[in-house]
Structure 1
């Protein structure tokens, strides 16, 4: 018996600050992200979306906007950011930040596939080689 595959797999590599998004086993996107800066870790592991919100504001950090939030572990989420210059380097309080258009695209993919058919993998290892990951 083979394990069921998630329709959407989101792989986040904290060492390269990149996200690869696969749909039905095919890599569709590779985007720069910002994960937790020094003193604010982003959890590693395998997760599934627990809650989604198109518009969310941080209750902990100055009511900061967190558009297209996909919460995956306690208060940690993947979401859009306005701090575009900081993408590609650790900058957050532990969340995974994306360009707003990338966050919207990911949100729509997860919404269509469903949280149960979405897996979020966070590690310190490259999600794919540069040849395997299209840069969009």
Structure 2
């Protein structure tokens, strides 16, 4: 069984159920999107993580332990939970839970399932997640989940995470990966890369990849580099005003 993290969010129950390496890990109350700002349902990857983040859309509001699900503003983060849907689309969780969850997830091995159905336990959440991840006409580009075995103690299905099929193979342990941009086409990604190399010639010595990924109904192309010192390169780029973030 492959290791990883599965997060299941029930908008109807306002609960989150988390599986770690196929076993139930923790659960928590949540506050999802209020009327007019509904949290979208579906299966999402973790696109970006930041311990300290502020909203670009809503008055610079703080979003501690932010884990981005979509590029148009949907994320999991610490926030106020009044006991009902109250956010602008994000999934709020208690501060201590947000911190613990942030430490558990990895962009390459986490899937987030958001549903409108009511859930009352890890067992029902696991079954729902598997049914969500295995539609009759599955989109092979979306995060995939599979059942590995049955847990006798909890009667909950063990969930194995299978990474995005379009993602590059995991980097070797001595390599680091950084995302430079999410473009709307391969040509746009290549043009962005050419501009970066012209400004930072040292980038010509690292491995570049352009990887497709579907977020909601939109397809993006992730421009990434992999190298032993990719994180240091990203820090240097940030100092020069170029956005980037570490993904592995």
Q: Which runs of 5+ in 1 are unaligned?
A: none
Which one has the bigger helix percentage? 2
**Structure of greater relative contact order (alpha carbons < 8 Å, 6+ residues apart):** 1
Q: Give the match for residue 121 of structure 1.
A: 113
| Deviations 1:93-123, CA, capped at 9 Å, x for gaps | 000001011110110001xxx2111000000
* Higher alpha-carbon deviation: 18-27 or 118-127: 118-127
Task: Give TM-score, length-normalised by structure 1.
Answer: 0.84
Structure 2 counterparts to residues 1-136 of structure 1, below 5 A:
7-74=4-71, 75-81=73-79, 83-84=80-81, 86=82, 88-110=83-105, 114-127=106-119, 129=121
Task: Please tell me whether Structure 1 or Structure 2 has the larger radius of gyration of its CA atoms.
Answer: 2
Q: CA deviation at 1:28?
A: 1.1
CA 1:76 to 1:48, structure 2 compared with 1: closer, same or farther past 3 Å? same
| Deviations 1:23-64, CA, capped at 9 Å, x for gaps | 011111110000000110101100110000110011211111
Equivalent position SS for 1:73: coil
What is the root-mean-square deviation of aligned Cα atoms in Å?
A: 2.2
Equivalent position SS for 1:36: coil
Whether the 8 Å CA contact 1:11–1:127 is kept in 2: the answer is: no
Task: Give TM-score, length-normalised by structure 2.
Answer: 0.47
Whether the 8 Å CA contact 1:20–1:127 is kept in 2: the answer is: no
CA 1:15 to 1:5, structure 2 compared with 1: closer, same or farther past 3 Å? farther
Q: Which runs of 5+ in 2 are unaligned?
A: 126-248
